Amino acid sequence: MARVCQVCGKKPMTGNSISGSRVHTKRRWLPNLQKVRVQLDGGVRRMRVCTRCIRSGRVTKAVSRMKA
């Protein structure tokens, strides 16, 4: 499963970690993805969504089921 937001398409970025002696080492910054139950087209689907999409309201969370 890819580390990509299924709403906005945000994916890992690459860059360098720079130590005290200025040695550059490749590293990756990963998006903060959460598995969320989403209300979509009249049904409920589990999606991997970044926290920015959850907070901005691009995704409507499904109401949790009531247990008897």
pTM, two decimals, is: 0.81
Q: Strands, E, within 3-51: which ranges?
A: 13-18, 24-29, 33-40, 43-50
Query: What does the domain layout of the chain look like in residue ranges?
Result: 13-56
Hey, how many other C-beta atoms are within 10 angstroms of the C-beta on 37? 15
Q: Is the pLDDT reported for residue 65 higher than 70?
A: yes
Instruction: Give the model's pLDDT for residue 64.
Output: 80
The structure tokens 């409507």 sit at 60
40 contacts 18 by C-beta, under 8 angstroms: no
- CA 36 to chain CA mean position, Å: 9
**For residue range 6-64, what is the model confidence (pLDDT) as tens digits?**
999 999 999 999 999 999 999 999 999 999 999 999 899 999 999 999 999 999 999 88
